[in-house]
Amino acid sequence: MLTKVLHVDLTRYRYWVEDRRDLFEEWIGGTGVAVKLMRENMDPKVDAFDEESTIVFAVGPLNAAYPLASKTVAMFKSPLTGNLGESHAGGRTSTSIANAGYGAIVIRGKSKKPVYIVIDNDRVYFRDARVLWGIEDSLIVARIIAENEGGRGTRSVMRIGGAGERLVRYACVTTETYRHFGRLGLGAVLGSKKVKAIVVMGRGSRKIKDRKAYREIYDEIFKLATESDAMKKYHLLGTAVNVKPLNEKKGLPVKNLKATSFEYAEELSGEKMAEIIGRRVACSHCPVACIHIATLRMPYENEPYFYKTLMLSYDYEPIYALGTMLGMKSREDFLKVLYKVEAYALDAMTTGVCLAWATEALERGIISEKETIVKLEFGNSDAYAEAVKYIIHQPNEFYEVLAQGVEKAAEVYGGKEFALAFGGNEMPGYHTGYAAHIGYSIGLRHSHLDNAGYSLDQKIDSYPKPEELVERLMKEEQWRQILSSLVVCFFARGIYKPDVVCRALKPVGIEIDEDGLKKMGEKIYFEKLRLKKDMGFDASKLRVPDRIFETETPHGKLDRSYMERALRYFAEVVEKV
Amino acid sequence: MGEENGKKVRRLVIKDIEKCVGCGMCMYACSRRKGEAGIDSSGILAVSLSGFERGATVIFCRACVEPPCAQVCPTGAMRPREGGGVIYHETDCIGCGNCIEACTINAIFRRRDGKPAVCIHCGYCADYCPHGVLAYEEVEPEAFRRVIV
């Protein structure tokens, strides 16, 4: 079992290791353990940028032991929502942490000067990063660090770009070029601590007692992953396959959700993107290789026969946020903006929603070009690429505000009715019905991945009572607390069903039955909700933007009273916690 | 050469290195074979090519007929194997690391205990390569020494 917790104190440049078997025995790992470590190490009321603000990276018993258990959970105070931040990333993060022998890493304090942290198995080094500070392209940062450090193939390089340094509240942390702790602003928290990057090198193993049982269940999972249809969607076109069907069913948010079908959807579809795939890569210890990388070949501005070729990974969410939401007419336009977002290491989803709101606000005359500097208009990729730069550099008050998210921007400039945020977090790419929007509102991360409301919308014909829908979403989310405590990729939820999870846990030393797992999911769910409450979460104040009720969904237009009844019911549940 | 006890030899070979996605399934298979969850004892390493935008590759022993690693081993723990490659006798190994230094293609790795991890060409990992990069095949000495097949 991975039971060691590495503590890193940036204020005093110290580190120490604790054996927390108690914690891992009671809360499994990942999300479960991270909630408790947040609780132990930080006053829930402190500001995200406070010295006391804590970041936890946690893995679980299945990481580095089984395929598709490739995720790390990051937990922190979100500077975007002011509440609990939780974000998951793949790449080599989880295998490096697990192979270094840790179940979790807790980072506290604040460095006086820029540093990057190197965790080389059992040693930690604080490296001078003064020269790296100011390098805004996160890819360049990673290349320099990769040259400086050892551990090739066994390391993860988690770093921030210009967005994190400038404390943009939706700055992400990028790892292995193509994976991100994307949402809720972990990049800004690292930036506030003057940490440019965290390198984790792990070359180790856990001894397994029952080798035979281990190999048997491993092979079963491997076969499911490679021979059944369980991972087919991700293995083939990837999540981008959603563009066309969502467009046909009128569930695709277009131009700040003024519409849900788009004449250029075909141009941005998974099928069209696949034509320019340059290669595929995988997270460590995952055979699926769902990372789709597109090539964008761009001529030099002033020289004929010279080209630069950019390799950019895409998924459905960035296509939605920086493509359809911004009215892009071609995949090249979308990729040009994505390139900027990736270089500066911003959350693609929040950036797209912020820019879509700003465009509509400009159209309506709520703000003028004095604020936006560049003329934002749906479909104009050059203007958006410029605007992304302004979000980073914040040359005027408007961009200072926009760098705090769409909720804040609408508070200052108006236009709340079309500011698409739930619980302060910008909307994901599914306008599929009640379950999606209730799901974003009541999800413990306000994310579409919490409880899969979008998926429920696409499966049901007629809605049950709002209370029943809330119960169903909560139940799903409780199970997902288990998945994110193990920590497996949510894409593999079709493989890691309760019986498989129980059998996989046995060889790594954990005996639990399906009923026990279910109860554990509930327990983690409510413990997290309690932490959110202590951080100031108030379910009775959840705001649902008017726009949601104005635009057609696959289930027709939505009715506010149904939504409100659902949210009231959820508020009662929270009240009792 | 090329035969072991009169039989044709089998070795782990690269079928198409350009197909590698860097998943490292091979690396995990190698340590799992030794009863470990992790990569400590793995004799194969999956790496990116100075960042994943340039792609990925795997590094492992290519079964030299005159293995430099065996030539520098002071205790005879690393011995040339008939047909190419080495046989590693762990109990004779003092963990000096000479073999790791000597390998021209950096295909011997250091375990956490300081001893080397080297591919013994058992072929176990090939069954877990999902993208047709690796195979375990009967080889002619000349054929398996060629990089482009």
Say if CB A317 and CB A349 are below 8 A apart. yes
pLDDT at B148: 53
Q: How far is A261 from chain B (nearest CA, A)?
A: 33
Read off the pLDDT band of B147 (50, 70, 90): low
Q: Which of A500, A296, A226, A339 is nearest to B23 (CA)?
A: A226
Pair of tokens at residue A415: 């236009």
Contact between chains at B131 and A289 (C-beta distance less than 8 A): yes
Question: What CATH topology corresponds to A426-576?
Answer: 1.10.599
Closest-CA residue of B relative to A66 is B37
Give the mutation candidate from A236, A281, A313 for the B interface (greatest B CB count, under 10 A). A281
User: Is residue B112 within 8 angstroms of chain A, CB to CB?
Assistant: yes
Closest chain B C-alpha to A152 CA, distance in angstroms? 7
- Per the CB < 8 Å rule, is A143 touching B24? no
Q: How many CA atoms lie within 13 A of B49 on its CB side?
A: 13
Which tokens sit at A178?
A: 């193509």
Domain A4-201 is in which class? alpha beta
Residues on chain A touching B21 (C-beta within 8 angstroms): 279-282, 289
pLDDT exceeds 50 at position A193: yes
CB < 8 Å from A in window 47-76 of B: 47-48, 50-53, 55-56, 59
Candidates B27, B39, B48: best to mutate against A (most CBs of A within 10 A) is B39
Q: Is the pLDDT of residue B144 over 70?
A: no
Whether residues A281 and B56 touch (CB distance < 8 A) is answered with yes
Identify the pLDDT of residue B145: 57
Tokens, residue A143: 């290349």
Supply the pLDDT for residue B1.
44
- Hey, where are the domains in chain A? 4-201, 231-420, 426-576
pLDDT attached to residue B6: 56
Average confidence (pLDDT) over B104-131: 97
CA distance A390 to A373: 9
Residue B139 confidence class, pLDDT cut points 50, 70, 90: confident
Alpha helices in A72-196 (DSSP H): 93-99, 138-148, 162-165, 186-192
Q: Do A139 and B24 touch (CB under 8 A)?
A: no
What average pLDDT does range A307-325 have in this prediction?
97
**What residues of B are in contact with residue A211 (Cβ under 8 Å)?**
35
ipTM over 0.90: yes
- pLDDT tens-digit profile of A22-44? 999 999 999 999 999 999 999 99
**Same CATH fold assignment for domains A231-420 and A426-576:** no
The residue of chain A with its CA nearest to that of B112 is A204
How high is the pLDDT of residue B5?
A: 57
Which H or E run includes A293?
Answer: strand A291-299
pLDDT at B51: 86
Residues of A at the B interface (Cβ-Cβ below 8 Å)? 64-67, 95, 98-99, 121, 139, 142-143, 146, 152-154, 176-178, 203-208, 211, 214-215, 218, 222, 226, 279-287, 289, 291, 293, 311, 508
- Closest-CA distance, B31 to chain A, in angstroms, reads 8
- Residues of B within 8 A of A203 (CB-CB) are 39-40, 109-112
From chain A, the residues in CB contact with B108 under 8 A are none
Residues of chain B with Cβ-Cβ distance to A143 below 8 Å are: 50-51
Which of B28, B124, B127 is the best substitution to test chain A (most A C-beta atoms within 10 A)? B28
* Average pLDDT estimate for A73-82: 98
* Element containing residue A489 per DSSP (H, E): none
Please tell us whether the domain made up of A231-420 is placed in CATH 1.10.569.10: yes
User: Are A177 and B53 within 8 A, CB to CB?
Assistant: yes
Angle between helices B25-33 and A211-227 (to 10 degrees): 160
| The pairing of beta strand A55-58 with beta strand A72-77 | antiparallel
Pair A101, A83: CB distance under 8 Å: no
- Is the Cβ pair A177, B51 closer than 8 Å? yes
pLDDT in tens, A392-415: 999 999 999 999 999 999 999 999
Question: Given A143, A152, A205, which is nearest B36 (Cβ)?
Answer: A205
Residue A222: list chain B partners with CB under 8 A.
Answer: 128
Measured between beta carbons, which residues in chain A are less than 8 angstroms from residue B27? 153
- In order, the DSSP letters of A84-116 are EEEEEE-TTHHHHHHHTTEEEEEEES--SS-EE
Taking an 8 Å cut-off on Cβ atoms, the answer to whether A285 and B59 are in contact is no
Chain A residues in contact with B41 by the CB 8 A cut-off are: 205
Question: CB distance from B32 to chain A under 8 Å?
Answer: yes
Residue of A nearest to B30 (CA): A205
Show residues of chain A in contact with B22, CB under 8 Å: 281-282, 284
Residue A90 has which token pair? 């793949």
> Least CA distance to A205: which residue of chain B?
B38
- Asked if A206's CB is within 8 angstroms of B36's CB, the reply is yes
Residues A168-186, mean pLDDT to the nearest whole number: 98
E strand residue ranges, chain B: 3-4, 7-14, 36-38, 44-48, 56-60, 78-80, 86-88, 109-110, 116-117, 134-139
Mean residue pLDDT of chain A comes to 97
Q: Which residues of B touch A177 (CB under 8 A)?
A: 48, 51-53
- How far does B44 lie from chain A, in Å, by closest CA? 10
Q: Å from B2 to nearest chain A CA? A: 32
Give the minimum alpha-carbon distance from B138 to chain A in angstroms, rounded to a whole number.
Answer: 25
Average pLDDT over residues A129-145: 97
Q: Is B12 a residue whose pLDDT tops 60?
A: yes
pLDDT category at B149 given cuts 50, 70, 90 is very low
Pick from B22, B35, B36: CB nearest A282? B22
- Is it the case that residue A418 has pLDDT exceeding 80? yes
CB pairs under 8 A between A and B: 113
Q: What's the rounded mean pLDDT across residues A305-324?
A: 97
What mean pLDDT is predicted for residues A229-254?
Answer: 96
Which of B32, B37, B46 is nearest residue A508 as measured by Cβ atoms?
B37
B142 falls in which pLDDT band (50, 70, 90)? low
Chain B: closest CA distance from residue A65 (Å): 5
Strands B78-80 and A307-314: unpaired
**Which one-letter amino acid corresponds to residue A126?**
F
Chain B interface test: which of A205, A226, A290, A342 (most B C-beta within 10 Å):
A205
CA atoms lying within 13 Å on the CB side of residue A166: 26
